[in-house]
Amino acid sequence: MTTSTVQYQGNLRTQALHIQSNNEIITDAPTDNHGKGEAFSPTDLLATSLASCMLTIIGIKAADMDVDVVGTKAEVTKVMASDPRRVSDIKVNITFQQNFDARTKKILEAAALTCPVAKSLHPDINQDLTFSYLNDQ
């Protein structure tokens, strides 16, 4: 079954359609690569999907443990390299709005590392992850 379709709209913009949900995503080329930067770039989506995947896996593990992680946020920084132009680093800072005991922290952090996107990225892409909790702020 087809996951999505992507259509080029012109002016370095694409429109992606998720077949199952009918949701759409627009991408633009970034300003440092001839674009307007008016939407996520494809490489922004790559980096952002890592954080989204990690939060999803954390949510699954938290539900199994009957732990509340609602409000947990991830801040994502994508670093580009040249020659060839590619994503070289993805920095993800996951901030929980709760505090947990050391065992729960260890389990949730380990769960994040098992997300399918993290396991699918090329090993040359550095995944720099940090975790912080309510009392750390």
Number of other CB atoms surrounding residue 51 within 10 Å: 22
Q: Are residues 59 and 19 in the same domain?
A: no
Show the domain range for 110: 42-136
CATH number of the domain at 71, please: 3.30.300.20
Q: Are residues 119 and 59 in the same domain?
A: yes
pLDDT at 134: 87
Q: Are residues 61 and 101 in the same domain?
A: yes
63-80 pLDDT, tens per residue? 999 999 999 999 999 999
Planar angle of CA 80, 39, 91, nearest 5 degrees: 35
14-65 pLDDT, tens per residue? 999 999 999 999 999 999 999 999 999 999 999 999 999 999 999 999 999 9
Q: Are residues 27 and 59 in the same domain?
A: no
Alpha-carbon gap, residue 127 to 116, rounded angstroms:
13
Q: Are residues 22 and 52 in the same domain?
A: no
Cα 16 to chain centroid, rounded: 17
91-134 pLDDT, tens per residue? 999 999 999 999 999 999 999 999 999 999 999 999 999 999 98
Alpha-carbon gap, residue 66 to 51, rounded angstroms:
22
Task: Tell me which long-range contacts 9-13 makes (C-beta under 8 A, separation of at least 24).
Answer: 11/36, 12/36, 13/38, 13/39
Q: Are residues 16 and 57 in the same domain?
A: no
